[in-house]
Structure 1
Amino acid sequence: MNKKNILSITTFTVLSLFLVLNSCKNEAKEPNKNEATKTVYASDVIPFFDHWKLILGDGSNAGIATNFENKDFFYTATNDKTNWVVFKAPNGGDTHGTSNNTRTELAQTKKWYPKTANDKLTATLKVMNVSATGDARVAASYSVVIGQIHSADKHENEPLKIFYKKFSGHAKGSVFWHYEINTKGDDNSGRWDYSTAVWGNDFSVVGTDASTYPEEPKDGIALGEEFSYEIEVKDGIMNLKFTSEGHETKTFTKNLIVSEYTTTADIPEQTQKLFVPIGQDGVERKNAYAGEGCFFKLGAYNQTNGKSPEVNMNWCSGAETHGGDIQKQYADGNYAEVWFKTGSISVSDNAVSNEGYFTKND
């Protein structure tokens, strides 16, 4: 073999080796198109889902939501490299239990009794949307409940509801909490809430007509602004703590086993103006929620609905629901959306199964 042939073979061998190595190098750079992107579940972000059942915005019970998502109501989102759990609920659609309002909300699988309780719930969140429509005279319009204590027994009333509310056109909204009386007797139609402001206004601050809003709160919370709440119930006493950067930390205490509303003379002025005119003028049992199993809830319980204000001027918003069409409501802002970054729950040894509540309401 002459030198020319040897040179040609050597050149061909080197070129082939270069092409193979370069091909391998290029293949290493290209991602495997068949490899699916890993889903980040809510239970990856906040690992406490074994303690809850998830109620979705269509009224269904999704059960324990570990490794679960629903793109309409419950999923995760990333903002500034931080993962959040998203709860979303339209103004109108199928609801859970006897409520008029849709919710995407966690409900605790156990219940505890206030007198012997040592139970705690914490959360850090931001509200991303409240309804774009509603009647400004209706106290519940433009609001969402982001945390609760609910009774599982008898009237199934709520010793705690934490609200966020922002009127359309305002930059800032209000955070406030409610205590609902555990109505004396078998008739619960006279029940009412007492509202306490945290930042901004309480529930009772409403518009003068359907489209005229009150003054925007100076110390309010904007959409997308982080804040935290802490709920602890121990030996019959509920302790609340609210924190947010740039805002004053607020703390509150409420006795859950001894009522302060046992006679009509005890009904506060706020209630006299807001609830008594529509016939909600009941009194509370002396021992309030003692003897009743209670449980935590967390998520987006949309308080804006499409029912006529003529039915109830505190709770029926007359908002747009597009006949229950969820996607149309989402398209024009008629929904509530809340993002949670962290959460924790501490459950006492005295807690027992809450299955009876779900059996009654699912």
Structure 2
Amino acid sequence: MKKYTIALASLLFLFCCTSCKNTSKRTTDSTENTSKENEPDKTVYASDVIPFFNDWKLILGDGSNAGIANDFENKDYFYTTNDGKDDWVVFKAPNGGNTHGTSNNTRTELAQIKKWYPETADDKLTATLKVMNVSTTGDARVAATHAVVVGQIHSADAFENEPLKIFYKKYPGQTKGSVFWHYEINTAGDDNTGRWDYSSAVWGNDFSVVGETANSYPTEPEDGIALGEEFSYEVVVKDGIMSLKFMSEGHETKTFTKNLLESEYTTKAAIPEQTKKLFFPIGQDGVERKKAYTGEGCFFKLGAYNQTNGKSPSENRNWCSGAETHGGDIQKQYADGNYAEVWFKTASICVSDAAVSNEGYFTKND
């Protein structure tokens, strides 16, 4: 009987010890979970998602220069989000507000801190993105309405013209929009008012396809890109040649090349019909300097350069959209869709050894 009593006591002791261990562990787990719940969410910065910000300064949608944007966010213009699968960097710009430099348009955009010369360049920019919004208002006859520029090459010198602008444009009520790119001539002479762009379609239409009236739209492109649909671009400038590549799942990959050192537009006769239709009626009928962008420092830009603005189309039927700006109130513009928003998932930049400081551009335009 004594043996059974001792055995029973031993079992009770072991049970109590085991119960205490489990209770202790549950208490510890509960404390850890409570502690984690009470911790503030860690901010995911753009530089955590795409770690390349040492090569750029960030211009915000209020016209200010935020500088090198490591560990930086601005909830109105520049921040990160997650779509349930990936982190994205958000660039947002209203139709109306303060602008940077001499532009009529707002932008939240990165500008490269170094410039390179096309003749010695070996420079590259890549990006994967999706456009989430373009302006819901604007005159449909104006070619820039309902569009945003998502990547550029910009000259830092002379007239500061742009040998590359990559556009996305979608009309209200349509599912698919167009991706196209522009080459802007580097105007010959001392007067830049005659400058013009030539537009090349990637998917969908080019810049010249516009509405017949202020509120009517051209046919939706069959091979276009929808809002929220990913696409990628690759821009390489090497030894004076600009090479472009555009990719998107379910769409044909498109490639283009353009010589930045020798112009094909040195006479009026050489100007394309598309340009004559769009730009000649508003007096932009210049020719390009023979050596194009030779000798000018150029640099990349990336982000959301909103092409829709509130200026009257009577000022310029290609670039002045007559869109709603609510007097520059950004929250009202954001509330009813009068803004551009672009999300970037990945991006990269390769800068050649020959690149030099671009500080003069910022000093001139900030």
**TM-score normalised to structure 2 length:** 0.93
**Which residue is 1:278 aligned to?**
282
Query: What is the CA-CA distance between 1:23 and the residue it aligns to?
Result: 4.3
**Quick one: distance in 2 between partners of 1:27 and 1:143?**
52
Match in the other structure for 2:105? 101
Query: What one-letter code is carried by the residue in structure 1 that aligns with 2:256?
Result: F
Secondary structure of 1:30's counterpart equals helix
2:132 aligned to 119, 128, 135, which one?
Answer: 128
How far has the Cα of 1:24 moved from its partner?
A: 4.0
Partner amino acid for 2:144?
A
Distance verdict in 2 for CA 1:34–1:25, change over 3 Å: closer
Give the alignment of 1:252-291 within 5 angstroms.
252-291=256-295
1:29 and 1:288 map into 2 onto residues whose CA distance is 63
| Number of residue pairs the alignment of both structures matches | 352
Cα root mean square deviation, aligned: 1.7
Distance, in Å, in 2 between the alignment partners of 1:178 and 1:29 is: 54
Q: Secondary structure at the match of 2:342?
A: strand
Mean alpha-carbon deviation: is it higher for 29-38 or for 148-157? Answer: 29-38
Q: One-letter code of the match for 1:28?
A: E
The residue number in structure 2 matching 1:7 is: none
1:164-190 CA-partner distances (Å, limit 9, x unpaired): 000001100000000000001111000
**Against the structure 1 CA distance between its residues 172 and 28, is the aligned structure 2 distance closer, same or farther, given a 3 Å change threshold?**
same
Residue 353 of structure 1 corresponds to: 357
Deviation at 1:32, TM superposition (A): 4.1
Match of 1:53 in 2: 57
Aligned twin of 2:228: 224
In the TM superposition, residue 266 of structure 1 has moved relative to its aligned partner by 1.1
Paired-residue identity, %: 78
Instruction: Give the 3 Å change call, closer, same or farther, for CA 97–24 of structure 1 in structure 2.
Output: same
- CA–CA distance in 2 between the matches of 1:58 and 1:259? 36
The 2-side partners of 1:268 and 1:29 are apart by: 67
The letter of the residue matching 1:125 is L
Tell me by how many angstroms 1:137 deviates: 0.1
- Does the alignment pair 1:246 with 2:250? yes
Q: Quick one: structure 1 residues 309 and 29, their matched pair in 2 at CA, closer, same or farther if it must change by over 3 Å?
A: same
* SS in structure 1 of the partner of residue 202 of structure 2: strand
Q: Secondary structure at the match of 2:81?
A: strand
1:207-222 to structure 2, matched below 5 A, reads 207-222=211-226
Is 1:165–2:172 an aligned residue pair? no
Q: What is the rounded CA distance, in whole Å, between the counterparts of 2:119 and 2:134 in structure 1? A: 36
The amino acid that maps onto 1:158 is: E
* Cα distance in structure 2, aligned partners of 1:264 and 1:223: 38
Change (3 A) 1:137 1:21: closer
TM-score (norm: length of structure 1): 0.94
1:306 Cα deviation after fit: 0.3
SS in 1 for 2:345: strand
Give 1:86's aligned amino acid: V
Alignment of 1:73-112 (within 5 A): 73-112=77-116
Partner of 1:174: 178
